[in-house]
Amino acid sequence: MSPVLRLARGSPAYVAMPLAAAAVLTIFGSLWAAALFLLISVFMLYFHRDPDRSPAGEGMISPADGRVLKAIPGHISIFMSLRDVHVNRSPLDGVVKSLQFRPGRHRPAFSLTDGNEQNTIEIESQDGTLLLRQIAGILARTVICYVSPGDRVGRGERIGMIRFGSRVEVTVPPGYLISVRPGDRVRAGETVIAVNRP
């Protein structure tokens, strides 16, 4: 594990802008306002962290940090709160077959989200096709995808992020047995959420 704090791709500006504002306000003697912007910068640093992760075992790994909302045959849904790492990862090795972005509303991500803004990543693995859906929540305003059709992705590889509270849903290929339950806490790129039955 590297001792250097890693930030998610494209995130340094979110940390630097309030930090710069704090510095300017300090010069002009607005210390309370400067303290507020400094706190915002610290929050942005915490929110955009992107630690290295290693799978905890064989099988399909979690695409997101958070709490499992739903775990039924063929489908797992994970809610990411503000305190979770928001970088999303590929559950299995495979090839990105397609991307589909759909604009929409920003309702709370822990409730029904059919009409919310979302991005669907189709990945073809050796065990079948899976769909990973990044869904914006009430605070999330940016769904970010790092991959393109034709890209080969490794299990646990970073494939995108969602800013400020959101939800990730993933389909489970046939032959996999889900190993998590609603309420379980999971970590992207680390927690095994389903195993391939022999």
Counting Cα atoms < 13 Å in the Cβ hemisphere of 46 gives 10
Q: Which of 81, 125, 166, 179 is flagged as catalytic?
A: 166
Counting Cα atoms < 13 Å in the Cβ hemisphere of 47 gives 22
Q: Tell me the two tokens of residue 68.
A: 């499992």
Whole-number Å distance between alpha carbons of 136 and 162: 7
Q: What b/e sequence results for 83-98 when a residue is b if at least 16 CB atoms lie within 10 Å of its CB, and e otherwise? A: ebbbbbbbbbebebee
Do 69 and 54 form a contact (C-beta atoms < 8 A)? no
Residue 166 a catalytic site member: yes
Just list the catalytic residues. Answer: 166
